[in-house]
Amino acid sequence: MEMTVKGAADLLKGAKDVLILCHQSPDGDTLGSGYGLYFCLKKLGVRARVLCPDKIPELFKPLLRGYREEPFDPALVVAVDIADAKLMGRLCAQYGDSVDLCIDHHISNTGYARRLLLDREAAGTAEVIFALAKEWGLAPDPHLADCLYTGIATDSGCFKYQNTTPRTHRIAAELMEWGADAAEINRAIFDTKSQGRLAAESALIRSIRYFCGGRLAVAVMDLATIAETGAGPADFDGLTALPRQVEGVEIGVTLREREPGFFKVSVRTSSYVDASALAAQLGGGGHIRAAGCTVRGTADEAVETIHQLAKEFLH
Amino acid sequence: MEMTVKGAADLLKGAKDVLILCHQSPDGDTLGSGYGLYFCLKKLGVRARVLCPDKIPELFKPLLRGYREEPFDPALVVAVDIADAKLMGRLCAQYGDSVDLCIDHHISNTGYARRLLLDREAAGTAEVIFALAKEWGLAPDPHLADCLYTGIATDSGCFKYQNTTPRTHRIAAELMEWGADAAEINRAIFDTKSQGRLAAESALIRSIRYFCGGRLAVAVMDLATIAETGAGPADFDGLTALPRQVEGVEIGVTLREREPGFFKVSVRTSSYVDASALAAQLGGGGHIRAAGCTVRGTADEAVETIHQLAKEFLH
């Protein structure tokens, strides 16, 4: 059942002993929303606890300032920013079927929860928590503002992505007036990188080969190169967008060797090539600007396969 | 003489044949503000022309859509986003002493112009142009919105930096409602890099050496390494912040060899080391979080000098 902000606000205000669930591999939006909701409920005199299936990254630890873990048997289970019960990870077995209220912004939400407060226009779930805070008439609070700003900045790529709306900016303005330490939060999220991540980036950049007058860029992360960097697998996550970001590149491809002779291929395009059509030629698929497939062979063979195919798509 | 927004708006509305000057090495704020002002004046029926001392970077060319160069003898010379007459570059000799109105946001503005509209709180000069547009009561216009959004996004680091205020966000919200293509502008400014820039980044990352348990990071760009990258000098601009961005680093240093055995040193610190005090030990200076000096010797000697000095500052 889909709820209104007012309906969800009433439900939560009248509740007691609320368990708040975050999704696995927690990011700034699920944590900012989860702890943000906790601090709202605390102000309302409602006891709450936040549960996260995975370890909380160091950079988001400041959100927990003032949080106190209290033991209780939950009377209401709330999932924040969890589009699918599977994303609860290790908590799915216990809570997958028993979420009383899901607060979310993903259009892909599967409707697994008994009640759903879903704002498909929100850049982050933290925008929805902000709407609840306003509905409750809560007084401005700097730490709550830090939580919600963290959620919004994370999911909007610091207001850079398509999902940013005028409302996103107006909420950010109000959160800054509440006292959110926006510059410091952004420094921690966007301008801090691990040594491993930086090594992975450098290796990936170095591996880029350009073809077709610079319109095709192919990065090749074979097993030997990956081992050399000393970076872990997670350090390579999200780097597949890099080759396409090079000036003049229409098709950016990243080949990542998963086992000897077996490459996972990510295809990104800038403006006119249909990435999914290209990937489909190799048995893969995806979206118009981002798609994927697999290729077998040596690194050089894999690059040549991509090169021959891609040039048919460029004009 | 400092002016109010109303005063400057009246002056410009009553003017004719306005020459608008941008600063050298033009960025998104001087160009977004300059062309933004041009399009405002066009709507008011005031003839104008934009003059920029250097080539306009490809990525900002879309701002010129609808711009028509008209020849005239200027009756009013307006400088936008130019804090100091010297920043006019090759135009300084002709216009340095004859600016009728300067519109700016730099607290360091030298007051070289006859009249000055200066908003020290504005993240970008484009915020001031927006205030003028509102004063004139101009109707929302998508292309004008693109110009002003470009200026604001550029100078605020897409709302990431300390100079971003609640007002900055509210103006961004309104410009999006006017039709600014924010996501595409941000992609062009923040997610596009030249091959040379990428090569420079990769080389700089690879050159980083860590000391003092990872609290000191030193990047060394010696002449041989710079030559290997194939990148131009400009490709290294702005990369000096990189070593400090590594997780756990308190002091980030970049050594750049300018001539054999002569290194320019950039020092950045995270939270407690006084960068200017450190640089002062080597005859340099600067600010608490960013400072500079020079060191002579081989690359290894220069690194060791920094290492020995820096460890005195770490605790």
Phi–psi pair at B255, nearest 5 degrees: -105, 125
Tell me which residue of A145, A157, A123, A156 sits closest to A62, measured CA to CA.
A145
Split at pLDDT 50, 70, 90, the class of B293 is: very high
Residue A71 burial (C-beta neighbours within 10 Å; 0-12, 13-18, 19+): exposed
Beta strands at B285-286 and B290-296: parallel, antiparallel or unpaired: antiparallel
Quick check: A101 and A114 in contact, CB under 8 A?
A: yes
Q: Give residue for tokens 């008439």.
A: A137
Judged by a CB distance cut-off of 8 A, whether residue B221 touches chain A is no
Bridge partners of residue A18, in order along the sequence: A48, A76
pLDDT at A185: 96
Judged by a CB distance cut-off of 8 A, whether residue A177 touches chain B is yes
Tokens of B69: 């160069």
Phi–psi pair at A128, nearest 5 degrees: -75, -40
Rounded Cα gap, residues B101 and B118, in angstroms:
10
Q: Which among B158, B169, B246 has the least Cβ separation from residue A195?
A: B246
Judged by a CB distance cut-off of 8 A, whether residue B72 touches chain A is no
Q: Quick one: average pLDDT of B166-189?
A: 97
Rounded Cα gap, residues B98 and B114, in angstroms:
8
Distance of CA A283 to the CA centre of its chain: 27
**Which of the residues A127, A169, A177, A207 would you substitute to probe the B interface, choosing the one with the greatest number of B C-beta atoms within 10 Å?**
A169
Judged by a CB distance cut-off of 8 A, whether residue B57 touches chain A is no
Split at pLDDT 50, 70, 90, the class of B51 is: very high
Q: Quick one: average pLDDT of B272-288?
A: 93
Count Cβ atoms below 10 Å from residue B232 Cβ, excluding itself.
14
Please tell me the distance in Å from B216's CA to the nearest CA on chain A.
Answer: 12
Quick check: A214 and B195 in contact, CB under 8 A?
A: yes
* Residues A160, B202: C-beta atoms closer than 8 Å: no
Average pLDDT along chain B? 95
Rounded Cα gap, residues A53 and A73, in angstroms:
18
C-alpha neighbours within 13 Å on the C-beta side of residue B311: 10
pLDDT at A87: 95
Rounded Cα gap, residues B30 and A271, in angstroms:
28
Cα separation values, A121 from A32, A107, A162, A169, Å: 18, 9, 11, 13
Whether residue B237 has pLDDT greater than 90 = no
Whether residue B18 has pLDDT greater than 90 = yes
pLDDT at B12: 98
Tell me which residue of B61, B63, B33, B34 sits closest to B49, measured CA to CA.
B34
Rounded Cα gap, residues B200 and B221, in angstroms:
9
Whether residue B24 has pLDDT greater than 90 = yes
User: Any idea what the Cα angle at residue B219 is, between residues B215 and B221, rounded to 5°?
Assistant: 170
Split at pLDDT 50, 70, 90, the class of B123 is: very high
pLDDT at B286: 87
Bridge partners of residue A263, in order along the sequence: A257, A295
DSSP state of B2: B
Tokens of A288: 């118009």
CB pairs under 8 A between A and B: 113
Q: Give residue for tokens 């908003």.
A: B119
Please tell me the distance in Å from A205's CA to the nearest CA on chain B.
Answer: 6
% of chain B residues with pLDDT over 90: 89
Please tell me the distance in Å from A231's CA to the nearest CA on chain B.
Answer: 13
Bridge partners of residue B219, in order along the sequence: B254
DSSP state of A55: P
**What domains does chain A contain, in order, with CATH numbers?**
5-190 (3.90.1640.10), 196-313 (3.10.310.30)
Rounded Cα gap, residues A143 and A284, in angstroms:
45
DSSP state of A111: -
E strands present in chain A = 18-21, 48-51, 76-80, 101-104, 115-118, 209-211, 216-221, 251-259, 262-269, 285-286, 290-296
Quick check: A21 and A38 in contact, CB under 8 A?
A: no
Instruction: Please give chain A's pLDDT, 315 residues, in tens.
Output: 999 999 999 999 999 999 999 999 999 999 999 999 999 999 999 999 999 999 999 899 999 999 999 999 999 999 999 999 999 999 999 999 999 999 999 998 999 999 999 999 999 999 999 999 999 999 999 999 999 999 999 999 999 998 999 999 999 999 999 999 999 999 999 989 889 999 999 999 999 999 999 999 999 999 998 998 888 877 887 799 899 999 999 999 999 999 999 999 999 999 899 999 999 999 999 888 889 999 999 999 999 999 999 999 998
* Residues A170, B170: C-beta atoms closer than 8 Å: yes
Cα separation values, B5 from B79, B109, B117, B136, Å: 15, 17, 7, 10
Please tell me the distance in Å from A158's CA to the nearest CA on chain B.
Answer: 7
B45: amino acid identity, one letter: G
* Residues A170, B173: C-beta atoms closer than 8 Å: yes
Helix axes B142-156, B166-178, angle to 10 degrees: 150
Those residues whose C-beta lies under 8 Å from the C-beta of residue A141, and which sit 6 or more positions away, are: A39, A43, A178, A179
Q: Going edge to edge, which strands form the sheet with B76-80?
A: B48-51, B18-21, B76-80, B101-104, B115-118
Whether residue B232 has pLDDT greater than 90 = no
